[in-house]
Amino acid sequence: MKELLEIKGNELYLGGKPFYIASGDMHYFRFFRGGWERRLKLMKDFGLTCVQTYVPWNMHEPEKGEFHFEDNLDLAAFIRMAGDMGLKVLLRPSPYMCAEQDLGGLPYWLLKDRKIQIRCNEENYMRHVREYTERLAKEFVPLLSTNGGPIIAVAVENEYGSFGNDVSYIRAVADMLREFGVDVPMYTANGHEMKHLKWGSVPEIWTGIDVGTVPEGAKETLKEFQGDRPLMVCEQWGGRAQQWGGVFFRQTPAGAAANYKNSLDRGFMVNFYMFCGGTNFGFSSGANYGVFRKDAPYAKNRYVPFETSYDVDAPVSEEGRPTEKYYELKKVLCEKRGIPYERNEYEYISQAPCEITLTECGSFFDSVEDICAKKVFSPQTRTFEELSQAYGFVLYETFLEYTNEHIRALSIEGLRDRATVYLNGEYIGTAYRDREYDIRFTIPKEGAKLSILVENMGRINYGLFMTTEHKGITDCVHLDVIGSETGRKYHDFSLLMNWDIYSLPLKDISKVTYNGNVGENKPCFYRGTFKAEAGIDTFIKAENLEKGMIWINGFNLGRYWDIGPQERLYVPGELLKEENTIEIFELYGKENKAHIKFYKEHSLDNRTDNVEVIVEEQK
């Protein structure tokens, strides 16, 4: 049935009848397609009337002109399923989404062209936005409520007032959406202060706010900006995305319920961000420039990457289980809407615990020529973007001639983000972006090969630093001299040049050589098989490993890192068969075997304090 959402003063009407938005975020791209239905059912049973979702440009167009809308990225199928469940859809197709995703969901290839100025009304950027939006519109415009579908409103950009003040850009994106067929109401989401509203929206577009709970004065500020329109919290945070090395920021069920009640009592309709937690599979997680959620007072801002888990302490957990917070929040909504409260219990089944040992192993360096996407020679270092590489690793190698017996100290200028360093194949240290490190060595008389393996830990996804988030070694490498008598570092600004550079997105690791060769603190691969009950979830931990990636049946689950707080990776049941393969890339190999455990429960809270410096001690 075709119907239009109408804004009449403080009220909403859908198909001529009063309509109330009680909503929550669920991101289809953070789940396997087979996991959508049970999560949408939990949303419907909670009493929600809508589901809100972002649309990730970087996943739908990973390379310029290469579009993907299949399998877990089938946006239209997700929207139809939500509609079949009786849920309306608030769609956020804006070019930028944040969502703690790499570059906030913008595709990396925008950074390849230095002329492009992202997130503003600049012609080069807007040309790409237009071409993507035109293609994307074909997926969702037929599903607008005015065409008989469940989409009742469409967002324009996201939290733009926290990035810039080019309001002509907001109007340009809105005009573009209208041109491609969007005829339902549009809305923007911004912070609650007047600066955020004036910089991030325009009065003619319905505006909502993003908050933990509605603060004093926010209602009046919003009304001053947009006049007599419905009050909407586009994102009410019941938890926050977790960062590697920090304490998991959680909110008690009672605290979340009190915040929800406060927002409703102030007259706001509320969308939970997130309602369903999810997963940053593969290399998709982003990063922040700031501090840990529970950092020490006056801590310095620095680069802090987000975890693989996107559980975010949501009412429905990463694995799709309703939490106690779910039930406490449901009580508040039922009271608000005059609906009888029922506590429906849901059975969650996971695999029985088991252990396996992976005995197939092989050196990364023995396989690098076979698994690299490309190898280039360059007088100076090149970035990921210059190599047309989105994610993963890049290996930089050069030969150092002997000149004298001085101790050298390695300096990597513009390291983005983390590097393990080797001399003649032996590990000599780890360097990390914007942290101090001290990697020293002497060059033997026969000379030595210097190898620097750089990992992209996720592009910054929020704020001004997004504009320069190139990865790899963005500047140069040089060797300082350590005085033999003083021990002081004397800066030498001569460049190290003539690099062999290996592009390693690790999309295909089928050509790894498993020869049993694992050296102390050297990168390596492990491989094995295991049995499972098909279609049933589990949680995996590499017990004796430190940092790396895990693939199951060829699918990249994401990063593990022993600094926590995430100890285990969620393995969706949709990925598992009776017979399964597991492959691991580990940065600090020590043994010729990997000990793997599968658990029935998640583990996301193994830290009680924060790691101030995420650089391992010299091993």
Q: What is the pLDDT of residue 619?
A: 35
Per-residue pLDDT tens for 489-532? 878 889 999 999 999 999 999 999 999 989 899 999 999 999 99
What is d(CA 318, CA 307) in angstroms, rounded to the nearest whole number?
13
Q: What is the pLDDT of residue 616?
A: 42
3-class SS letters over 516-528: CCCCCCEEEEEEE
Q: What is the pLDDT of residue 297?
A: 65
What is d(CA 341, CA 350) in angstroms, rounded to the nearest whole number?
28
| Displacement of CA 168 from its chain's centroid (Å) | 28
CATH topology of domain 22-337: TIM Barrel (3.20.20)
Q: What is the pLDDT of residue 291?
A: 81
Buried b (16+ CB within 10 A) or exposed e, 106-120: bbbbbbbeeebbbbb
Task: Find the Cα–Cα–Cα–Cα dihedral 58, 61, 62, 63, rounded to 10°.
Answer: -130
Q: What is the pLDDT of residue 294?
A: 61
Q: What is the DSSP letter of 220?
A: H
Question: What does the block give as tokens for 204?
Answer: 């003619």
Q: What is the pLDDT of residue 371?
A: 98
Domain 374-504 has CATH 2.60.120.260: yes
Q: Which residues are catalytic?
A: 159, 235
pLDDT, mean of residues 399-415: 95
Contact 268, 232 (CB under 8 A): yes
Q: What is the pLDDT of residue 618?
A: 37
Omega before 565 within 30 of 0, i.e. cis: yes
- Which of residues 598 and 436 earns the better pLDDT score? 598
What is d(CA 486, CA 544) in angstroms, rounded to the nearest whole number?
40
Which residues pair with residue 476 across a beta bridge? 413
Contact 373, 505 (CB under 8 A): yes
- Which of residues 40 and 490 earns the better pLDDT score? 40
Per-residue pLDDT tens for 195-247? 999 999 999 999 999 999 999 999 999 999 999 999 999 999 988 899 999 99
Residues belonging to the chain: 619
DSSP assignments along 558-615, one per residue? EEEETTSS--SEEE-GGG--SEEEEEEEEEEE-SSSEEEEEESS------SS--S---
pLDDT, mean of residues 450-478: 97
Q: What is the pLDDT of residue 300?
A: 82
- Among 2.130.10.10, 2.60.120.260, 3.30.70.1350, 1.10.520.10, what is the CATH number of 354-359+512-599? 2.60.120.260
pLDDT > 70 fraction of the chain, expressed in percent and rounded: 98
How many C-alpha atoms does 88 have within 13 Å on its Cβ side? 25
Q: What is the DSSP letter of 330?
A: H
- CATH code 2.60.120.260 region(s) in the chain: 354-359+512-599, 374-504
Helix (H, G, I), strand (E, B) or coil at 489: strand
What is d(CA 10, CA 7) in angstroms, rounded to the nearest whole number?
7
Q: What is the pLDDT of residue 538?
A: 98
pLDDT, mean of residues 370-389: 98
Q: What is the DSSP letter of 357?
A: E
Q: What is the pLDDT of residue 299?
A: 77
Q: What is the pLDDT of residue 612?
A: 64
Per-residue pLDDT tens for 560-618? 999 999 999 999 999 999 999 999 999 999 889 999 999 999 999 999 888 764 444 33
Per-residue pLDDT tens for 273-332? 999 999 999 999 999 998 876 666 677 888 999 999 999 999 999 999 999 999 999 999
Q: What confidence category does residue 172 fall into, taking pLDDT thresholds of 50, 70 and 90? A: very high
pLDDT, mean of residues 24-40: 98
Q: CA geometry: angle at 271 spanning 87 and 187, to 5°?
A: 90
The mean predicted confidence, pLDDT, of the chain is 95
Q: What is the pTM of this model?
A: 0.96
- CATH code 3.20.20.80 region(s) in the chain: 22-337
Q: From residue 339, give the alpha-carbon distance in Å to each of 184, 324, 343.
A: 29, 19, 12
Contact 550, 569 (CB under 8 A): yes
Per-residue pLDDT tens for 81-97? 999 999 999 999 989 99
DSSP assignments along 227-260, one per residue? -S---EEEEEESS---BTTS------HHHHHHHH
Q: What confidence category does residue 484 fall into, taking pLDDT thresholds of 50, 70 and 90? A: confident
Contact 80, 143 (CB under 8 A): yes
